[in-house]
Amino acid sequence: MSSLKEQLTTRVKDYDHWASRRRYGDKGPNNRRLWVLACMDERLPVDEALGIHVDTPAGGGDAHCFRNAGGIVTDDAVRSAMLTCNFFGTKEIVIVQHTQCGMLSANAADLEAALRQRGVDIDGLALDPTLPEQTLAKGAFAKWIGMMDDVDQTCMRTVDAFRHHPLIPRDVEVSGWIWEVETRRLRAPTLDGSRTGRADVTCAQFGVKGKQPPRWS
């Protein structure tokens, strides 16, 4: 049995490496070599859903975690995934979306129209004022918003997008999961309506009329 001094010495050494791990590139990965993409919704507890420690306790260290509206593939999500997988030692991507998502609650064309009514110049918009080269083709704004028709279908397509993206190494494992807000349970995405009936997973359940702009087709 090691002495307390030896245990403390090891603990201090391990913590020093944890605190400075970004200095070591792919030799200093997070605890699980994991990148999580999750919706920004406050009702989606990443740690509880996945059984890991990302946010609790603060700085748990198990994964890099990226949140956006819907937990969908976007240019900045790809940017973050590219960095962690190619340069920080990450070997797995987990995508977590959820029922009752706000991205099911409206038609993106209606959201675009509302912005136009407020005087926003959608067609001459600088998405990132620090990167003027990044632009949208005319008519693409509603698709860019990324509203969903069905969260299960969107999760599957998000997984597929990362799996086949040229910036993500082929040996990175990618999976997708749905957190049911109503039941506080995690499940795999499915197209089987008998397994999704206990939760709101489609925009029709929110009273949305018409199909979303065809981002996910």
Give the model's pLDDT for residue 126: 86
For residue 194, what pLDDT is reported?
81
Domain boundaries defined on the chain? 1-28, 31-107+147-206
Tell which wins on pLDDT, 182 or 193: 182
Nearest to 209 by CA among 70, 113, 116, 109: 109
In tens, the pLDDT along 6-25 reads 999 999 999 999 999 999 99
Residue 192, pLDDT score: 87
Instruction: For domain 31-107+147-206, give the CATH superfamily.
Output: Carbonic anhydrase (3.40.1050.10)
pTM, full prediction: 0.94
- Sheet of 34-39, strand order: 64-68, 34-39, 92-98, 173-180, 185-187
